[in-house]
Amino acid sequence: MNRFEGRRVLITGAGSGSGIGQATARRILAEGGAVVAADVVEQGLAATRALAEADGTADRLVTAVLDIADEEAVRAGVADAVATLGGLDALVNAAGILRSSHTAQTTLEFWNRLLAVNLTGTFLVTREALPALLATGRGVVVNFSSTSATFAHPYMAAYAATKGGIQSFTHAIAIEYAKQGLRAVCVAPGSIASGMTSNPGLPADADLSLLGKLAPALGQGFAGPETVAGVIAMLASDDGAFVTGTELRIDGGTHA
């Protein structure tokens, strides 16, 4: 299945080990796409390239170190990606960080760091990519919300606020640019085994009984990041052509 043959995709957060961004890069490459994989961690990007080489798809992969919280870096990085690819058909904003704390003990620095990476970073990359995406007449933005945006995840108030903001941002741009052919959608993963969820940084005295609702209803435990990557590939391809201005929860029924 080559749904992305001839299509050009920028994916942020694509160097996180065992992460959704990395899995998405592999999936879109496997379906024939040309990918710029961006991440703040150069070592992670090297791992993504090694996987692509093993998959036989590395000839369509370019990696780029990018800090999405740095406006000038984003401006230059997105421009380079568009120039490298010769345009842009889809953007996947997978970059993000997960941190936890007691809300009463959350510092402004902690709060602002989550906002800077998750919410502002998503905005900056999207803003810089929009002209190239609109030029295609069928551009797609896939943003990352979370089940924490609409369901209670204790100790994650700051993280949840960023994801709720991303969700609202996605709805707004979906309507603003619909007549220009742009689609904007969110995925809201939950109960996914990844580098991010393996160490959420819960407080040492966290009441783990409050986290009981995070078990998937389907009963096979947390799913791998490739589960989300498959959904993203659908949404970013023509199979998702009638999906915009919404979010899709991918959590095995955890919050059914």
- Give the tens place of pLDDT for each residue, 195-249: 655 567 788 888 887 876 666 767 677 889 999 999 999 999 999 999 999 999 9
- Give the tens place of pLDDT for each residue, 46-95: 999 999 999 999 999 999 999 999 999 999 999 999 999 999 999 999 99
Which residues are registered as beta bridge partners of 63?
A: 37
Mean pLDDT of 189-196: 77
- Classify residue 187: in a domain, yes or no: yes
Mean pLDDT of 141-151: 94
- Classify residue 192: in a domain, yes or no: yes
Question: How do 34-39 and 61-65 pair as beta strands?
Answer: parallel
Domain encompassing residue 150: 8-250
Q: Let me know how many helices (H) and strands (E) the chain has, helices first.
A: 7, 7
Catalytic residue among 111, 155, 159, 177: 159
Which percentage of the chain shows pLDDT scores above 90?
A: 81
Q: What size, in residues, is the chain? A: 256
HEC profile of 78-140: HHHHHHHHCCCCEEEECCCCCCCCCHHHCCHHHHHHHHHHHHHHHHHHHHHHHHHHHHHCCCE
- Classify residue 256: in a domain, yes or no: no
- Classify residue 255: in a domain, yes or no: no
Angle at 77 between CA 74 and CA 78, to 5 degrees: 85
- Classify residue 130: in a domain, yes or no: yes
Using CA atoms, how far residue 247 sits from 174, 244, 253, in Å, is 11, 8, 15
pLDDT of residue 111: 97
pTM for this structure? 0.93
- Classify residue 2: in a domain, yes or no: no
Mean pLDDT of 152-160: 92
Which residues are registered as beta bridge partners of 249?
A: 188
Which CATH number characterizes residue 112's domain?
Answer: 3.40.50.720
Tell me, yes or no, if 155 is annotated catalytic: no
| pLDDT bucket at 35, cuts 50 / 70 / 90 | very high
- Classify residue 201: in a domain, yes or no: yes
Token code pair at residue 25: 């890069």
- Asked whether the beta carbons of 129 and 84 are under 8 A apart, the reply is no
Average pLDDT, the chain: 93
Domain count within the chain: 1
- Classify residue 3: in a domain, yes or no: no
